[in-house]
C-alpha cells in the first residue's frame, strides 16, 4: 500500500543567538585548518572532501560544514555566504524566501588548505540560464537547461577528466573564489516534523501493483549495496597519496569488482578510478550507489575524493560532460541526463 506523506513543518523563532554565527571569509585566510574550524565553531577534526599532492605540496578541500558544529539534536543547520551588511539578519532556511539576501551563487561552500593553512574559500557561481527560444516547449527548454552549456569547473576543458591540473584550478578559475568581503553565516532551525497518514486510493493501488513484479529484487539489491559498502571502503583505504598503485590502474580495475578506469583522451598518463562505495539498504529499486574517485598520474595516486562531499564542486558531474559542454552518457557510469554512478 502506498502512503501519502503529509508534511507538517513546525518552525520557531529566528535563527539568531547561539543557533547562528557569522565569520568573515577574510578572517579564515592564513589560519591553520584546526584554527579555522575553531573559529567556525567546530569541536571535531574535519575530514577533507578532496586531498591532492603535486608541485604545490599537499592540498585539502573541505566542505565548510565540516568546519562548523554538528547540528544540535532536533535541529537542522545550513551554511551560506552573505554580504557583511546581512550578517546579523534572521534567516529562513526553507521556503520561497530561503536565504534571502545571500549571494546569488551555489549553496556549495568549500575551504581550501595548502600544507595545512587556509588559502582560499570557494563558492562557485550560478550557471547563467539561456533565454527561451520563441516557440520552444517547456519540456524542451528544461532539457536544454539540464544538459547543455555545462561548466565542469575542475576540468581543464569540457570532456577532459577532472583535476588533471590538480590545484591549478584555483588560478585557472578565480571565479570560483568567494567574494572577498563575504561572511560565512550558519543558521539552525528546529527540524521539520514529518507526519505520515496512511491512505488508500486508486492511484496508490495502481502504483503498488506496478512495482509489485520488481519487489522480489529488493532483498538481493540491498545485499549488493551492503557488500559494495564493505568492499569499496576497503579498496579506497588502500589508496595512499603519492604512492604507486601496484600493477597500475588497469590491473587494479581488472582485479577488483566495482572499480572502473578512465583514461584522459588527450593525456594518456593521466587516469581516474571510480570505486563503488555502495549505499544504505532502502526500498528504492534504483541503483544510486556512492562513488569514490582516485586520480593517477603515471600510476601514482595524486588525488583522492570521497565522491560525496566533493559532489558540490562538480567532481562527479565533470565525468559526464563531453567536449561540446553537454551532459550525458559521455563515459561508462553516466546516465543520459549526466549523473554519474559507479
Starting at the edge strand found earlier in the chain, the sheet holding 291-297 runs 117-122, 110-114, 57-63, 50-54, 300-305, 291-297, 270-276, 259-263
| Secondary structure (3-state) at 46 | coil
Kindly give the confidence (pLDDT) of every residue in the chain, 342 residues in length, as a single tens digit, with 9 standing for 90 and above.
Answer: 444 433 333 333 344 434 457 999 999 999 999 999 999 999 888 999 999 998 889 999 999 999 999 999 999 999 999 999 999 888 888 888 888 888 888 889 999 999 999 999 999 988 888 888 888 888 998 888 889 999 999 999 999 999 999 999 999 999 999 999 999 999 998 988 766 555 555 555 555 545 555 566 788 888 888 998 899 999 999 999 999 998 999 999 999 999 999 999 999 999 999 999 988 888 777 778 899 999 999 999 999 998 677 788 889 999 999 999 999 999 999 999 999 988
Can you read off the three cell numbers belonging to residue 183? 561572511
Q: Would you state the pLDDT for residue 19?
A: 44
DSSP string, 72-140: PTTEEEEEEEE-GGGTTS----SSTTTTTTS-SB-S--EEEEETTEEEEEE-PBPPPPPPPPTT--HHH
Q: Would you state the pLDDT for residue 212?
A: 54
Q: Would you state the pLDDT for residue 194?
A: 65
Considering only CA atoms, which of 261, 252, 262, 61 is closest in space to residue 159?
262
- Residues in the chain, how many? 342
Does residue 188 contact residue 76 with C-beta atoms inside 8 Å?
yes
Q: Would you state the pLDDT for residue 94?
A: 82
Q: Would you state the pLDDT for residue 4?
A: 40
Q: Would you state the pLDDT for residue 13?
A: 38
Q: Would you state the pLDDT for residue 203?
A: 56
In the DSSP assignment, the letter for residue 148 is S
How far apart (Å, rounded) are the C-alpha atoms in residues 327 and 151?
10
Q: Would you state the pLDDT for residue 259?
A: 97
For residue 276, what is the enclosing H or E element? strand 270-276
Amino acid at each position: 500500500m502506498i502512503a501519502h506523506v503529509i508534511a507538517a513543518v513546525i518552525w520557531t523563532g529566528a535563527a539568531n543567538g547561539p543557533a547562528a554565527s557569522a565569520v568573515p571569509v577574510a578572517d579564515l585566510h592564513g589560519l591553520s585548518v584546526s584554527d579555522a574550524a575553531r573559529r567556525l565553531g567546530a569541536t571535531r577534526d574535519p575530514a577533507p572532501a578532496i586531498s591532492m599532492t603535486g608541485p604545490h605540496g599537499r592540498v585539502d578541500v573541505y566542505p565548510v560544514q565540516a568546519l562548523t558544529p554538528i547540528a544540535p539534536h532536533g535541529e537542522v543547520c545550513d551554511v551560506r555566504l552573505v554580504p557583511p551588511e546581512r550578517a546579523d539578519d534572521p534567516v529562513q532556511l526553507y521556503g520561497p524566501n530561503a536565504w534571502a539576501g545571500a549571494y546569488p551563487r551555489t549553496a556549495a561552500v568549500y575551504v581550501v588548505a595548502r600544507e595545512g593553512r587556509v588559502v582560499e574559500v570557494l563558492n562557485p557561481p550560478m550557471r547563467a540560464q539561456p533565454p527561451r527560444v520563441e516557440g520552444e516547449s517547456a519540456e524542451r527548454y528544461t532539457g536544454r537547461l539540464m544538459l547543455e552549456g555545462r561548466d565542469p569547473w575542475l576540468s581543464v576543458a569540457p570532456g577532459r577528466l577532472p583535476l588533471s591540473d590538480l590545484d591549478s584550478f584555483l588560478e585557472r578559475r578565480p571565479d570560483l573564489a568567494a567574494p572577498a568581503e563575504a561572511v560565512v553565516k550558519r543558521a539552525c532551525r528546529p527540524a521539520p516534523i514529518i507526519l505520515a497518514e496512511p491512505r488508500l486510493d486508486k492511484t496508490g493501488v495502481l502504483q503498488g501493483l506496478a512495482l509489485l513484479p520488481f519487489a522480489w529484487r529488493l532483498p538481493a539489491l540491498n545485499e549488493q549495496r551492503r557488500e559494495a559498502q564493505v568492499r569499496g571502503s576497503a579498496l579506497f583505504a588502500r589508496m595512499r597519496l603519492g604512492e604507486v598503485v601496484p600493477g597500475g590502474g588497469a590491473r587494479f580495475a581488472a582485479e577488483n569488482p566495482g572499480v572502473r578506469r578512465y583514461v584522459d583522451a588527450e593525456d594518456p598518463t593521466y587516469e581516474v578510478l571510480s570505486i563503488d562505495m555502495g549505499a544504505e539498504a532502502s526500498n528504492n529499486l534504483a541503483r544510486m550507489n556512492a562513488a569514490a574517485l582516485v586520480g593517477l598520474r603515471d600510476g601514482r595516486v595524486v588525488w583522492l575524493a570521497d565522491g560525496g562531499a566533493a559532489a558540490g564542486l562538480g567532481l562527479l558531474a565533470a565525468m559526464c560532460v563531453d567536449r561540446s559542454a553537454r551532459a550525458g552518457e559521455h563515459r561508462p557510469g553516466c546516465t543520459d541526463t549526466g549523473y554519474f554512478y559507479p
